[in-house]
Amino acid sequence: MVPSGQTQLVCLLGSPVSHSISPAMHNTSFDALGLDYSYMAFDIGEDNIKAAVDALRTLNCKGFNLTMPLKNAIIPYIDELSEEARLAHSVNTCLFEDGKLKGYTTDGIGFLNAMTDSGIDYNDKVITVLGAGGAATSIIVSAALHGVSKINVFKRKNSTFDEVVDFADRITHASDCDVFVYDIADATLLEFCLQESDILINATNVGMGDDDTSLVPKEFLYKDLIVTDVIYHPAYTRLLKDAKAVGCKVMNGKYMLLYQGAAAFKIWTGQDMPIDLIKEKCFTED
Ligand code: NAP
């Protein structure tokens, strides 16, 4: 749709942003639904975040997405945080409404909706998550609030380990889900937790791009374990390749990207993103 005098601006802030699929995803959806909105990407680092938020408020912007490195840095400028954003301490979607800046995280719900789209039922299930960074914490919070019964988190025993243990305690108290944190170097414990798990999620960078390694020995995988990865480049990480070879159902991070966008789209427009169209236009087949 050609912009008009009433076009509502929505945008992405972060650095880098030039590779982002979000402008294509949202503008294609606005066009398809005849919505007078326009989505742009702006390369903004932490130093400029306050100036950017002030400018967007002045310009009467509808809202914006945040990507690296701004998902935590935006928090001091938010007036109202959703429960999931507060618990995850991460914001990837903002809405200007009633003179306030409201912050949400849609990464976790995006991952859960991607699982549903792939026919994976996470209700009452036991999940093992590798990593405890931004993607992992959003997924852990959403999974705990939306029906997963137990989450085993494996991360490196480094300076952030105790913080993640505190985070796990907070989520356990705020939900009906028990969250435990273990040292990823403990292979015996990892194998034990995978045996009791229904779903494994790799939420680390391991396996991204040219890295053909996995944090999970292939012999720990078994056919009834559902194996997922937040990474979508490559489409099949070493972990997913090993899991497919063992006969596991697998899912990569491609549709997490789609559904986190769909949840943001709903927050800004109140409408459902045309999922099938966006899959066809913006997500090429593996
Ligand atoms: P992040 O905040 O930097 O977290 C990375 C996590 O990976 C940390 O927990 C880190 O462990 C762990 N890690 C890295 N190397 C490791 C290793 N060798 N052994 C064990 N753990 C290791 O990054 P992020 O934003 O969560 O992103 C993680 C991945 O998710 C990236 O590949 C990103 O592209 C992907 N992602 C996908 C989507 C999507 O829509 N599909 C959305 C967001 C992110 P420590 O805690 O010990 O440092």
Q: Render pLDDT for 256-274 as a digit per residue (tens, 0 to 9).
A: 999 999 999 999 999 999 9
d(CA 94, CA 129): 27
Nearest to residue 126, comparing CAs of 226, 240, 36, 1?
226
Residue 172 token pair: 């356990």
Give the Å distance between the CA of 10 and the centre of ligand 1: 27
- Annotated catalytic sites, by residue? 71
Output the residue whose Cα is nearest ligand 1's atom 13.
204
The ligand 1 atom at the shortest distance from the C-alpha of residue 205 is 32
Give the Å distance between the CA of 135 and the centre of ligand 1: 7
pLDDT in tens, 11-49: 999 999 999 999 999 999 999 999 999 999 999 999 999
Judged against a pLDDT cut of 70, whether residue 285 lies above it is answered with no
pTM above 0.85, yes or no: yes
Ligand 1 pocket, Cβ-based, cut-off 6 angstroms: 107, 131-136, 155-156, 158, 160, 184, 203-206, 208, 215, 230-232, 253, 256-257, 260
Percent of the chain that is helix, strand, coil (3-state, to 5): 40, 20, 40
3-state SS of 27-54 is: HHHHHHHCCCEEEEEEECCHHHHHHHHH
